[in-house]
Structure 1
């Protein structure tokens, strides 16, 4: 009687671990969790007891996974979807595919990525980067603030994207930089790669001659990839732009723009390289070229905290209020 009462609770407690992946190390240890990726000779294992654990690939004896995963052998080979991975001899694993079972040497595997389903439940990711600097000295008082955020939520065929930034630099009561920008974009996917985007953007500047920019745009986009290794998408937009200047003047024009968003995780997601931006060409000649982009690196110090270093540039050529502004920032970030 007691056993029949205890058994359901025991099964319930064991359920979350029923499909856990297993990694055997050459030193005899065995670890359980979820295999997220293999890249740069680091296997990233997500565990409940230690968070994300990067493991040296050459220290692994064999491994097991009962759910599908993508395997790559060689830098120029196509990914192969394995239905499961079974433990093999020391330094080997048995890959089960639709064509049958194959024994692979672990040394021949260069990349492992968990597949993401095209239609999936709500997923949410993002980051906030903060850089603050205040110097009070006899020669000068300096205040430097930089806050950036980027968040993305997806549910089924829809993806919501929001970004924003605030920048201010003051030295001895003289403000040389003071601006903010906000952008919202909505993507509607037609298949795993192709989507259509509509977006709104507003920028306000209290220092430059170009005091505000408003952009409304729409156009097709293509998602090259989006997985544990990073993401890369490009979007072609037709934008309706409105510029307002400090002297009270304004200008409206249409432009064709190309927008990109690229990130790449390295060394078991410890380091991330990223770049985002947009380049445009106005139709009516009010400006020769517009460019707004950034490039940077994040270094993860915990599962959620990181250090970051970024460089950004905004350029508008051939229009009243020409702008060519470059900023460098370093700070602390939170990622989810």
Structure 2
């Protein structure tokens, strides 16, 4: 195994560079003994992106990195919280020194949008095939998409979903959903969320519903793509059909989780919400989604999703569950 001690010249160069005020370049030390100096632009789940004097961008796979150092303090994601830190090279494989403490490279992420007001965009489009347990001739087409735009303090998220289902040549479901949320990230933990949701069911009675919500949230961790948020909101609902309209208020709590594994190949996620309306007829309404995404290529992934919806009223309990297999594209 290569390390900095086994290469005294490399270790001496790293030490002198860290002590010299004239040495302002970030340096990446590779397992094969090479080093690359320049400015680190990004460190994501797959690659470290560095700009050098001879190339605008070089991508280095995480698995090829022995250690690295950063010339000036910058906001990095360390253990899923953003910290303004300096990083020195470590003698141990896959480690760096932060405040003289050994820190695994796997815990670090960096993006330029942590440090300025530039917008960072990401999203996906997915088509799914439901897995059902019945003997009827059923077809279920689900198409969904999402896009997120964020800076260090603001995050906009838009999600849409179309569901069209038939059973024995009869249309059983034809719905359109749209969701928009705006998060103001007060600091690395606290946030304020405003969100809107719209759903339209074009089957038979032409039912539509809308709610607007506002409330505080707490981020247990989250920077880059990983996150665990807990949010409490006060919601106002508008429900309507051809024959009636209804308005009600509700307190709601939601949990939003996302985490990447094995250098970003596998993603686990969950969105859980429970609402308590202010009318005696409804005890609670809960909506839960948990799933996995497996990256086939840099952009294309397979997904598995489980949806569980539960409504408790004075006349009984209504539950709706589904398992979904899908194919999607990240952008």
* TM interval, short-chain normalised: 0.7 to 0.9
- The structure 1 residue matched to 2:123, chosen from 123, 126, 132, is 126
- The structure 2 residue matched to 1:36, chosen from 43, 51, 66, is 43
> What CA distance in whole angstroms lies between the structure 2 residues aligned with 1:156 and 1:113?
14
- Residue in structure 2 matched with residue 232 of structure 1 by the alignment: 228
CA drift of 1:150 comes to 2.1
Per-residue CA distance 1:2-31 (angstroms, 9 max, x = gap): xxxxxxxxxxxxxxxx95652411x55667
Q: Does 1:53 align with 2:57?
A: no
Per-residue CA distance 1:167-220 (angstroms, 9 max, x = gap): 112233122332121111222343343232222211122459893221122122
Given the superposition, is the C-alpha separation of residues 196 and 208 from structure 1 closer, same or farther in structure 2, using an over 3 Å criterion?
farther
Q: Does 1:271 align with 2:269?
A: no
In structure 1, list runs of 5 or more residues that go unmatched.
1-17, 134-138
- What is the CA RMSD across the aligned residues, in angstroms? 3.8
CA drift of 1:294 comes to 0.7
- Residue in structure 1 matched with residue 8 of structure 2 by the alignment: none
**Aligned partner of residue 223 in structure 1, secondary structure:** strand
- Residue in structure 1 matched with residue 208 of structure 2 by the alignment: 212
Per-residue CA distance 1:117-139 (angstroms, 9 max, x = gap): 37632122222222258xxxxx9
- Residue in structure 2 matched with residue 293 of structure 1 by the alignment: 288
> What CA distance in whole angstroms lies between the structure 2 residues aligned with 1:325 and 1:21?
54
Given the superposition, is the C-alpha separation of residues 293 and 119 from structure 1 closer, same or farther in structure 2, using an over 3 Å criterion?
farther
**Aligned partner of residue 263 in structure 1, secondary structure:** strand
The answer on whether the counterparts of 1:221 and 1:236 sit within 8 Å (CA) in structure 2 is yes
Number of equivalenced pairs: 294
Q: Report the TM-score when normalising by structure 1.
A: 0.71
> What CA distance in whole angstroms lies between the structure 2 residues aligned with 1:300 and 1:203?
30
Given the superposition, is the C-alpha separation of residues 326 and 118 from structure 1 closer, same or farther in structure 2, using an over 3 Å criterion?
farther
Per-residue CA distance 1:56-76 (angstroms, 9 max, x = gap): 7xxx5444443547697xx9x
CA drift of 1:145 comes to 1.1
The answer on whether the counterparts of 1:210 and 1:245 sit within 8 Å (CA) in structure 2 is yes
Structure-to-structure mapping, 1:312-331, within 5 angstroms: 312-318=307-313, 323-331=318-326
**Aligned partner of residue 282 in structure 2, secondary structure:** coil
Once the two structures are overlaid, the 10-residue window that deviates more, 154-163 or 28-37, is 28-37
Given the superposition, is the C-alpha separation of residues 264 and 71 from structure 1 closer, same or farther in structure 2, using an over 3 Å criterion?
closer
Per-residue CA distance 1:30-69 (angstroms, 9 max, x = gap): 678766268xxxx74347888673417xxx5444443547
Structure-to-structure mapping, 1:99-118, within 5 angstroms: 102=100, 104=102, 111-114=107-110, 117=114
Q: Does 1:194 align with 2:168?
A: no
> What CA distance in whole angstroms lies between the structure 1 residues aligned with 2:27 and 2:141?
44
In structure 2, list runs of 5 or more residues that go unmatched.
1-23, 51-55
The answer on whether the counterparts of 1:85 and 1:93 sit within 8 Å (CA) in structure 2 is no
> What CA distance in whole angstroms lies between the structure 2 residues aligned with 1:174 and 1:36?
51
Structure-to-structure mapping, 1:115-264, within 5 angstroms: 117=114, 120-131=117-128, 142-155=138-151, 157-207=153-203, 211-228=207-224, 230-245=226-241, 248-264=243-259
